[in-house]
Amino acid sequence: MSETATLEINGQKHEFPLIKGTENEVAIDIKTLRGVTGGVTTIDPGYKNTGSCESAITFLNGEEGVLRYRGYAIEDLAEKASFLEVAYLLIFGELPTKVELDKFHADIKEESVVDDDIKKILDAFPKTAHPMGVLSSLTSALTAFNPTSVNVDSEEDMYRAIVKIMGKFPVLVAWTMRKQKGLPLDYGDDSIGYVENVLKMMFKKPNQEYVENSILINALDKLLILHADHEQNCSTSTVRIVGSSHAGLFASLSAGISALWGPLHGGANQAVLEMLEAIKEDGGDTKKFMAKAKDKQDPFRLMGFGHRVYKNFDPRAKIIKVAADEVLADLGVEDPVLDIAKGLAAEALSDEYFVKRKLYPNVDFYSGIIYRAMGIPVEMFTVMFALGRLPGWISQWKEMRTRKEPIGRPRQVYTGENYREFKTIDNR
């Protein structure tokens, strides 16, 4: 491979270095472009062809449907690891020993109490508030109660901020759901596992002994692993660019939660269930909705389908589809929308419009079916996505801050009015 790329502008040739990653991805390093060309920049709406950083955390191959965290295949991690192990792997770069994992969990449990005054903020929201808006607000508010988490100039400061949010975020997730259901806000149980504790905080009834359900624990553990990181997606890029101004970790995560909320991104898992329910209510005619998805005049899209990077099956969707069958069977739940989902997927996978555009089911297509079987309200689905993505956001923010990357500030091409004289109001 040549070491450089040549760009000719107005008869002038310019050489730019090519960089190659450990998986042989090649990029043109244009750090000097504007300087050597007298101001020429690039433009790439949606950054479809533009890399924002070099990263050692997650590798995707969209053509082959490959996803690896720190070099480990998602299939192996989903099958053999726990969510807390995967969180440690993403954040610190290696799978933990038992001693390391136990210490990480102990440090997280130490920090898993949330200041009671946060409840006053939660109380101010109407019950109809969308949980993602509540979660984003409460996550940002954590900064006010944990001011030392902002200036993380030492490794110890960074570690403290990380275990604080790993401990407090699941409490905010549980409180967000319980508030909407009118249930008392409480804490979990330090004697049980991380994911076990999430479920207990979410579902413990004030008047009943809580009984663990291993099916739900295993299903949630796997779902959180599958959502844990996904390189430079919309919300992760948001966390990185907000963090690049040296805003604190919690404020950066709050911004990422807002980005994830959108129906084109993490909000798709809620939109998929609403779409499947609409199809069911409409009589189950999937062909009618396929036609709508293909009609350019119709804003309707097949939610849970398509992906910026995967032009093959999203490997996470494959795993979740199998898990959906298993969980519903284990729970003895019959969910007609699962059959509608399978019917839609089968039709889309043989439909020329979808095949030509390489539109396959993505991570959001089947996940909501499992969440619903677990008794999680549809408006909480994207909150569960955020809970899974938390360690990924943390790892990416840590990588950006540790590498002391510059503040993110893209350029533009101005296409507005040229200079014009000011006119006083009497002359307009």
Binding site for ligand SDX (CB under 6 A): 46, 230, 233, 264-266, 268, 293, 301-309, 357, 359, 362-364
Q: What's the min distance (Å) between Cβ of 118 and ligand SDX?
A: 27
Alpha carbon separation from 289 to 284, 293, 310, 351 (Å, rounded): 9, 6, 23, 13
Alpha carbon separation from 313 to 72, 306, 342, 358, 382 (Å, rounded): 19, 9, 14, 9, 21
Beta bridge partners of 68: 59, 73
Find how far residue 46's CA is from the centre of its chain: 17
Q: What's the min distance (Å) between Cβ of 226 and ligand SDX?
A: 9
Q: What's the min distance (Å) between Cβ of 377 and ligand SDX?
A: 20
Complex with ligand SDX: residue 167 or 361, whichever CB lies closer: 361
Q: Respond yes or no: is residue 29 known to be catalytic.
A: no
Q: Respond yes or no: is residue 307 known to be catalytic.
A: yes
User: Could you give the CA distance from residue 70 to residue 95 in angstroms, rounded to a whole number?
Assistant: 9
User: Could you give the CA distance from residue 401 to residue 415 in angstroms, rounded to a whole number?
Assistant: 34
Burial class (CB within 10 angstroms; exposed 0-12, middle 13-18, buried 19+) of 418:
exposed
Complex with ligand SDX: residue 158 or 173, whichever CB lies closer: 173
Complex with ligand SDX: residue 119 or 308, whichever CB lies closer: 308
Rg (CA), the chain: 23
Q: What's the min distance (Å) between Cβ of 361 and ligand SDX?
A: 9
User: What is the total residue count of the chain?
Assistant: 428
Complex with ligand SDX: residue 58 or 112, whichever CB lies closer: 58
Q: What's the min distance (Å) between Cβ of 328 and ligand SDX?
A: 22
Instruction: Find the catalytic residue in 130, 265, 307, 314.
Output: 307
Complex with ligand SDX: residue 104 or 354, whichever CB lies closer: 354
Burial class (CB within 10 angstroms; exposed 0-12, middle 13-18, buried 19+) of 373:
buried
- Which residue of the chain is nearest ligand SDX when measured via CB? 306
Residue of 277, 241, 335, 298 lying closest to 53 (CA atoms): 241
Complex with ligand SDX: residue 160 or 292, whichever CB lies closer: 292
Instruction: Find the catalytic residue in 221, 229, 314, 364.
Output: 364
Q: What's the min distance (Å) between Cβ of 51 and ligand SDX?
A: 14
Q: Is the CB of residue 185 less than 8 Å from the CB of residue 179? A: yes
Q: Is the CB of residue 90 less than 8 Å from the CB of residue 391? A: yes
**Catalytic site residues?**
307, 364
